[in-house]
Amino acid sequence: MTVIDANRMHEIETRYPEYFHQSFRQRFGGLMILIATLLYSLYAVWFFDLPKLFAEAHWERVGIYLSQWVSYDVQPEFRIGDDGSIDIRYPRFSPLGDNPHPDWLVNNPDGSITVSISGTSRTVTVSKSETIVTAHGVSVPVEVSSGAPKVVGPVPGWMTVYDDNVLADLGFAGNVSISVDRVKIRKRFIGWANFVFDTQSSFFDKPVGEVVSLIVSGPRIKPDQSNLSLAFDDIWNNSEWQHGDVWTKLFQTIVMAFLGTLLGALTAFPLAFLAARNITPNRLLNQILKRFFDFLRSVDMLIWALFLTRAFGPGPLAGSGAIFLTETGTLGKLYSEGLENIDNKPREGIKSTGAQTVLVHRYGIMPQIVPVFVSQTLYQWESNVRGATIIGAVGAGGIGLKLWEAMRTNANWENVAYMVILILIVVFIFDTASNALRHRLMDTKTH
């Protein structure tokens, strides 16, 4: 074991004073940051009243919305006539078409009708005098012959009795609403109804094999149009899913992001040379352009979109303009800062030969900045694909506006899921392509 005497210790302290004579900030800086973070978190909890918000939040709606993203429901209504007859009706534009005959609805010999909500464990039997709901291992009769529906026997926890109707909640499978003269059933199915062909299509409700056979070698359904063309038209013009409109709006979003970013880059590039102090030695011009860039990027893209939709009306022009203005400010700042950090030796070497300013920029500056500028522009383009979706919601065109319209109805969540998945796929593709190009450029610059 080595023993350090006092002289040696003093020599070490003199040589490395930063380790032995730390300031208060160096000694307790980490602890102070931790305490400040904790205090700020407590303040945020108090300021936003988070306990109350969490207590009053409708958490059950999360499950409802998520279930509607991946499922659809059919809502038959059974109307009981005075003569005891039962009339079955479906809502307009039912997923089953205009004249449905589902196999989960059975007419019994005694005149009653049994509906299978979920196999044999959850069923509803409707007759002229009572409705029997079977679920969770019990069958609960509800009399409907008197002035108000009446549950016979104890009321289970999944059933709620109101003044004029009885509601049976059968979970994800659906629910049943029972009144004196009618029974409404909501039966839920996993999947997206009529995603390929809607109920008006000639191919609706046909097996896949039959559809393929008709397209490949079957007789023409319409004499003046091939079956392949007819199938494509029916898919593209699907009235429920609106594939044609959705894909057109998605393409608009991509074009908006590309056009806005491209115009912003083309505008910011020459302005950045004027804003860079080491390129243009004019302090007033430098400051004016840098403050101009700050102004353009400090106004959010969404705000620019609101301004431009008032000026030009709703549409992709307003969206492209909003991206252009924002990107001019953002890329102008990035470009000018990149120019100010270049290595001046190549530039000075070329300038010493008496070359013109254009040639100095071309051979002394461009080889250093092009990979960085292209990388920054690709990243902004990638981000603007996502941003174009958001600004579309305020009327700037693209798929964002269509997504907002579907969400606003609060009834087309499967359409919302469809568009969200398309947006995620597009963003993933552009992220991957952009990252690959950036890495390739940076590797090129390195080597």
pLDDT at 447: 47
pLDDT at 158: 92
Half-sphere exposure for 71 (CA within 13 Å, toward CB): 16
Provide CB contacts within 8 A for 225, sequence distance 6+. Answer: 233
Angle ∠(391,393,398) on CA atoms, nearest 5:
75
pLDDT at 27: 72
pLDDT at 233: 93
Q: Rounded to two decimals, what is the model's pTM?
A: 0.78
Mean pLDDT by runs of 10 across the 447 residues of the chain is 65 66 71 92 90 84 82 91 85 83 89 88 90 91 84 90 90 90 92 90 89 88 89 92 92 91 93 88 90 91 89 85 93 90 78 77 78 86 86 82 83 87 89 80 57
pLDDT at 281: 83
Fold held by 243-446: MetI-like fold (1.10.3720)
Say if residues 243 and 235 touch (Cβ distance below 8 Å). Answer: yes
What residues does CATH 1.10.3720.10 cover in the chain?
243-446
